[in-house]
Amino acid sequence: MIAAKANCFISFQQATDNYSLPERFTFPFYYEPHSLCLLAAKELQQHLETQTEWQHNFGIVPDKEGLVIGKMFGVLVVRNNAGELGYLAAFSGKLANANHHDKFVPPVFDMLTDGSFFRVGEIVVNGMTTELQILEANPEYQQFKAVYDADKKLSISRLKEAREKLRIDKKERKERRQAAKSELSAAAYKVLDYELSQASIKAHFYWKDLNKYWKQRLIENEAKFAELAAPINALKEARKAKSNSLQKQLFEQYTFLNATGVTKSLLDIFAPTPRKTPPAGAGECAAPKLLHYAFLHQLKPIAMAEFWWGQSPKSEVRRHGHFYPACRGKCEPILGHMLQGLSVDENPMLTNPAEGKKMEIIYEDAPLLVVHKPAEFLSVPGKNIQDSVYQRIKDQYPKATGPLIVHRLDMSTSGLMLIAKSEKTHKYIQYQFINRFVKKRYVALLDGIIEADEGVIELPLRVDLDNRPQQLVCYEHGKKATTKWKVIERKNGKTRIHFFPITGRTHQLRVHAAHPLGLNTPIIGDDLYGVKGERLHLHAEWIEFRHPLTKETICFEVAADF
């Protein structure tokens, strides 16, 4: 643990006598910033805009030099031993390529200290990387690697071609047999059948010999390649072992206090979790830094908030100056430990959002139902809440044999859902969804003006592994996501829009609306990609599909209540 700075307590610039204190500490994963946090954040943002001690390109000032990197900042309102209210400030990761700046709490452990085990180990790992680059650049290795890779590719191609020819020949022999039964005499058919059988045997041995040839050829090449690659692979394993050892040693240095005075390392904190080991960057976020410093200096935590400052990363949706909850992948286990002993706001995700809400059935016949799901109502049971469209239909129709749910809507999205009463109906409608025969239209109210009248958004999506259930735009691992859209109305600085999703990815419309490469205008009330409101202004208002019994195309529509 590093020596903590003693001058990080910041007094408010204006009087706070008229501010009421919260009864309990902030639940960090879903909150409305307390008024004192808003005041602290405002003062910190003024500092960021006016300070001249360090330079960092947040992407706010046009043509500023340096790599653009937006940052998450946090403020923690505290009371000191003298009874004074103030706040602490922190940033996630490094700022201006450094860990220490005036007004900000230090990291829990400073890996960047000159001469530290991490710096020394980093030099060793970097040296191994350089040595690897030299070995891999060896002309003999490069030449043989190219030959080996080409041979592997060629073997796959040749075997694929041969397998396809065998399939076609087999199909042709079958067709000839079938045709010959009615065209040839019994004797002539027997002769033909023998010839075709011999052709089949010949094809079998040809395929066997071809496989053997390519296997032997690759084995010979692989032996020579393995000899050349042995020192490279050995060095890669040594580098991996050194890197893992260094990472483990680093995690052992990150130890966090909680409100009861108990200290735990990152390794101990993550050991009971499904992932067992901490993810990279764990412990470097603003929230753990703030709480650790407060506990270390006997400062009483009152409320906390985090905001994004700067340009959004290309994969995420982050809006300059907006507040965000702590990340779950890295921070949830750490904060779970650190908040022990504090009186914390209740986790709203443990409260049933559908309590007192009615799900309306707008159509019913023997095979299916069409229901109108309210906003803030689960489609299927969650980790903590069972009440959902699925559960209510299951309770209401105990004799229904189907999987029931054919497609889902986000909990916050209202609108039409199809329910299958039997497995046969489920398969029939699901087939229509898979083949995109089902047509859907959503209506949304966006928090801004969209200048264009219509268009198509194509941004591939995948889940944010460190912050579920949020989605990232990812061109490498994301699934294709396509949305057509058309503006319906522009009024009072807002845009009413129709969305026609071609694919059905999680949070697709929300991300496509909010992301800078999409419409760059979040849906009103979007607590994940915009600003939390009374409700998410997104509604599945119209759906068209083919009825499983009549085979007729039918459609249903329910207008939004916004």
Q: Residue 278 gets which letter from DSSP?
A: P
Phi and psi based region of residue 47 (left: phi greater than 0; alpha: psi -120 to 50; beta: remaining): alpha
Return the number of other C-beta atoms located less than 10 Å from residue 240's C-beta.
12
Return the number of other C-beta atoms located less than 10 Å from residue 47's C-beta.
14
What is the residue type of 231? P
C-alpha to C-alpha distance for 411 and 422, rounded to whole angstroms: 24
- Strand 404-405 with 454-458, pairing: unpaired
C-alpha to C-alpha distance for 412 and 444, rounded to whole angstroms: 12
Under 8 Å between Cβ of 84 and 12? no
Mention every residue, 6+ apart, whose C-beta is less than 8 A from residue 59: 68, 69, 70, 310, 311
| Token reading at 150 | 């080409």
Q: How many residues does the chain have?
A: 562
What is the secondary structure of 412-481 as a DSSP string? T-EEEEEEESSHHHHHHHHHHHHTT--EEEEEEEESS---SSEEEEE--EEE-TTSTT-EEE-TTTPBP-
| Token reading at 333 | 């286990």
Whether 466 is catalytic is no
In whole angstroms, what separates CA 331 from the centre of its chain?
A: 15
Measured CA angle at 477 (ends 306, 435), to 5 deg = 115
| Token reading at 203 | 């094809």
What is the residue type of 556? F
| Token reading at 228 | 């050349």
Q: Residue 349 gets which letter from DSSP?
A: G
For the CA atoms of the chain, what is the radius of gyration?
31
Cis peptide bond prior to 469, omega within 30° of 0: yes
Q: State the catalytic residue, choosing from 114, 149, 268, 410.
A: 410
| Token reading at 285 | 């976020």
Helix (H, G, I), strand (E, B) or coil at 102: coil
| Token reading at 201 | 């045997």
Distances (CA, A) of 267 to 72, 256, 318, 334: 24, 11, 30, 10
Under 8 Å between Cβ of 312 and 70? yes
- Where helices occur in 370-475 by DSSP H, the ranges are 389-396, 423-434
Under 8 Å between Cβ of 499 and 434? no
List active site positions. Answer: 410
